A and B are shown apart, each in its own frame.
Chain A
Amino acid sequence: MFKGLSRFSMILLCVNLCCLPLMSATSAANQTNNNQLDKDSVLSEIENRMQDIKTLSAEFKQTKQLSAFDRNLVIKGKMYLKKPHKLAWHVSSPSPYRMVIRENTLYQWDKASGETQTLSLDENPAFTAVAKQMQMWFSGNYKDLLQDYEMEIKEKDPVRLSFSPRAQTMARDLIRRIVITFDKNREYIQQIRIMEKNKDQTNINFSNIEINPSIDSSAWEVEGAEE
């Protein structure tokens, strides 16, 4: 069952995660005080600035408003990314959880169950898509992303970009819109809001973003995972 379900969750995870690098990218773009905000130029500028990013880390606070839960889920932790093939999502609260993608393998662990899952991306094409899409964002190539999403500039101050899945994409069945809000100084992304079809909503707020930090090798480790 997990294989079947996780396939979808991981594709969607990609949709979500792939937005994260925007904050650093746009932040870099804003450092040049470029005010040109039309669709093509915004993405073109990001493309140019993204070339130098090799690693990235950020703290996050994820708030989920889900109809199946009586209360909002507030999830806190840190994410790490290293080009070209590494991604880590460390949750510290409410209970420790780790998801790491290394090369062609995905590891998932949660403390409550103590179980670790290892999945080969070769055998799970959807996970391969996740890794590739992440790579796409950090390499600064957005052409492929715009094939699946339509981008709209919602506000200029603060800058808010809205991404809506195009017709005939799987994301359209699940996501209504992803809205990315930048801070007033346009230095980093303040929030990613994901609105789902079923009216559930996820807000991810980022802070303490570091571009090209030195990431400890332990960030890519998962308890019980076979090397």
Chain B
Amino acid sequence: MPRNKLPELYIRSYKNSRLIAACSCLLILLSLFGIFQASFDHNLSQLLPQDTEIDRTLQFFAESDFANKVIISLSAKKPHTLSELLREVDSLRQELDKPFIKEVVTGLSDKGFNRDLNDFLLYAPQLLTPSETRDIKEQLNKKSVRQNLQGIYSKMMNPGGSFMLSMHLKDPLGVKTPLFKRLKILSSSMGYQVEIKNGHFVSKDGKHALMIIDTDIPVTDSKGSQKLISYLQEKTRDLPDYLESSIVSGHKHTISNQKIIKSDIKRTLLIAAVGFILLFGFILREARAVLVFIMPSVAIFVALGLMFLYYDTLSYFVLGMGAVVTGIAIDYGIHTYIAARHVQGVENIARIVKPLLSGALTTIGIFAAYYLSTVKAYHQIATFAILSLTLCLAGAVYILPRFFRPGFNPVNKNFLFPDRIAYKYTILSLWCIFLAVSTSMVVQVEFNTDFKALDGTSGEIMQTEKKFDEIWTKNKRDPAILVTSAENREQALQKNEDILEKASSLIGKQNIVSIAAIWPCKETRRENLNAWNKFWQKHEQELRDLLGTCGEEYGFSQNAFQPFFKGLSTGTIEDIGPEQISSIQKLKDRFFLEKKDSFQVLSFFPDKKELVAEMQKITRNSQGTFLVSKREFARQLTTTVASQIKSLAAIAAVLIPLLTILLLRRLSWAALALIPVISGILCVFLAFGILGYSLNAPALFALLVVTGLCIDYGIFNVYAYGKQLPTGTPTAITLSAVSTLIGGGVLLLADHPMFFHVGLTMVSGILAGFLGAIVVIPAIFAMKKENQNA
């Protein structure tokens, strides 16, 4: 489009009031329709990049109920005893019920454990390995049999010894001993350092009891989480005063994050509104000037409504960005307001349409770069910002001028810096010093891609979790998980065993906790059983004779050991699932994950860098297997986020100068227009460096917004100075910057770390960008003019 046609086209379209009114009504109606379908969520995962590995880890945690567990730790104040504590634990367990609670596990009752143990040992024929079965041969001699029978007989000496007699008679030689060792997996797989006292999970110091609560309410369901935690808090409130309880759960993080975000949004929007009203009331001193503030609010509301026509739910973070977008979008209204009050009215606006459009396109271009990110929330922010900015620009140039009468210039164009040109050399010297200092800070500021930095959970919850870890986990890192998937359980078990065989040689068998140790796949069990049958076909009579002869010496009856011989042929059914064995049934949730079309077996190993690296060698070459390691997850996240930021920064670095040159069409002007951008970016690094913060992903994305705004300031002022336009551009830029600083500044009052970092970026960047535009650019123009005159 020819350059001189744009103002003309604007004036022509401005006069078509009916079309403008019709478009406005249509957009508002569509928006209202969308608003009725509004639904927000706070899910942090939306802020994470979409990456195969990352997605798989997140999906794994979503599908397993690891994250959905609620843990209650209870302790009794002195002089109350452990038994009193455990009594209350039982009482509380009885009270916890549906619909919120699926299951409550407070331990392994001695009664249940006894039954589970007998149940498990019954399957010794198919669980003992061929090598373990062969080892029995070493005990088939008089000396060894006598020694074992003496042990049993000695146990009869103490008053309670006879209670365990039936168990001894089922296994007089202790051939099932290896299975006891394997059962240790019961406690080691729990992830907590517990002891069983009176059938309850108790801490090592015996002062605390643990309750593990299973619920169907996912940790991402904020409403459900609120109900669940309220329900549990109500129940624990009824406990006697001498008991202290603490609830630890991901649900509490959800509630806390949501609460903080909601409170931040209310506070920031309120303060921003007050700030804008004061700004227009005191500086512009005209009631109708408030329309400049109302316009972006209406545009943002309309944009939000339109968003819901496309998105089912929006992240709360999008809503939180509303204040920032208001700060950006208000700029256009300010420029048209200042121009519209000029004697030439609409004609004067037509003069600034080009820089307005240029500025808007540059900012929109920056936001459009967000689509290259794989973070869902950033896509929403980009759409929201582009829609809002477009509507604001349209509103500013087509609707807003209709409310203002020309012929009055509300503020002097040089009201802030009347003498700036006189100090041009001082200004330029100071700017150079600022550049030098802030450039040195760039290398000092670190990038933090740990997504925990985005977790705004309250300090109280963090403190509770810290205490909990000191008692129950001893701050031990969660183990890494090897996930083996297959079509059905048997295939998954088989594959898991094959993988573990390789893994054992790489990281050591002692480092792996696997269900294979206590319940191997059918094929392995069949091999075990064959070896067992073969062995006893050969040696049963031999042992019968030995027990008969040696048993007589201690007074054992001839049939005393019949339970053992009967057990040689029981527990031999191969077509049995682990769910039919109570001891393994309890481990089901820990070791198995049943999905709609597949089955996963989970094995655990220490989450150490070198072990994870070794295991990755295996999983890379084995289809259907993958690792879930929090350490590796953090690394992948860091790599992905860093890579995205680099890409976006590169795009912005190319896009901004390119668009500037294209729009200004003069290289020297384009270079001057970049001054606010450079100043803004460097000042952000300076602020973060001085305050000791690391730059995180949201801050870096906010930096892109700063860049977009700063280039606006540069373009507007260079254009105004270069063309000597009487459009009040410095005044408009000042008001724009102040309004943006209000929008971004209120975020500094937010409790959520993400909002705070965005606020700090906005304030430091915009402040420096504004000074660069309003002070440095005119100084350079003045210097240039002085040189030309000389």
Contacts and interface: CB of A to CB of B under 8 A. Distances in A.
Interface of A: 1, 3-6, 8-17, 62, 64, 66-71, 73, 75, 89, 91, 95, 97, 99, 108, 110, 112-113, 122, 125-126, 128-129, 132, 144, 147, 168-170, 172-175, 194, 196, 198, 200, 202, 204
B167 A5 contact: yes
8 contacts: A13-B158, A67-B557, A73-B156, A110-B157, A125-B197, A129-B198, A132-B82, A147-B87
Interface stretch (B174-182, B460-468, B574-582): B174-182
B397 to A, nearest CB: 78
A75 B157 contact: yes
A115 to B, nearest CB: 8
A15 B556 CA distance: 25
Interface stretch (B54-62, B107-115, B278-286, B485-493): B107-115
A170 B114 contact: yes
A196 B150 contact: no
A172 B206 CA distance: 25
A204 B157 CA distance: 12
Interface of B: 81-83, 87, 109-111, 114-115, 117, 147, 150-151, 153-169, 171, 174, 176-177, 180, 183, 195-199, 202, 204, 206, 555-557, 560
B115 to A, nearest CB: 8
Contact of A1 (B159, B177, B555): B177
Contacts of B196: 125
9 shortest A-B CB distances, which residue pairs?
A13-B160, A170-B110, A12-B160, A16-B159, A12-B163, A97-B157, A110-B154, A1-B177, A68-B560
A112 B154 contact: yes
A126 B115 CA distance: 17
A8 B164 contact: yes
B111 A9 contact: no
Contacts of A5: 164, 167-168
A9 B158 contact: yes
A168 B111 contact: yes
A174 B163 contact: yes
Nearest to A8: B164
B723 to A, nearest CB: 86
B156 A66 contact: yes
B714 to A, nearest CB: 72
Contacts of A6: 164
Contacts of A194: 159
Given A112-B154, A170-B199, A173-B111, A1 B174 contact: yes
A117 to B, nearest CB: 10
Contact of B555 (A3, A13, A71, A110): A71
B169 to A, nearest CB: 6
Contacts of A125: 195-198, 202
Looking at B109, B115, B158, B183, the one whose CB has the most chain A CB atoms below 10 A away is B158
A69 B197 contact: no
Given A128-B197, A173-B111, A9 B557 contact: no
B555 A70 contact: yes
Given A66-B156, A69-B560, A13 B195 contact: no
B117 A17 contact: no
Contacts of B81: 144
Contact of B556 (A1, A17, A69): A69
Given A8-B164, A13-B158, 4 more contacts: A9-B155, A16-B159, A75-B156, A168-B111
B434 to A, nearest CB: 64
Nearest to B177: A1
B163 A196 contact: yes
A98 to B, nearest CB: 9
Nearest to B153: A112
A13 B161 contact: yes
A66 B165 contact: yes
B557 A69 contact: yes
A4 B117 contact: yes
B294 to A, nearest CB: 69
B79 to A, nearest CB: 12
Contact of B160 (A15, A67, A108, A168): A15
Contacts of A129: 197-198
B147 A68 contact: no
Nearest to B202: A125
A20 B37 CA distance: 74
Nearest to A15: B160
B240 to A, nearest CB: 15
B719 to A, nearest CB: 80
Looking at A15, A73, A89, A196, the one whose CB has the most chain B CB atoms below 10 A away is A73
B109 A168 contact: yes
A15 B161 CA distance: 11
Given A69-B560, A70-B556, A64 B160 contact: no
Contact of A9 (B150, B163, B174, B180): B163
Nearest to A71: B555
Given A9-B161, A68-B560, A113 B150 contact: yes
A69 B149 CA distance: 12
Contact of B111 (A3, A73, A172): A172
A156 B198 CA distance: 34
A10 B155 CA distance: 10
Given A13-B160, A15-B160, A170-B114, A113 B151 contact: yes
A64 B156 contact: yes
A95 B111 CA distance: 32
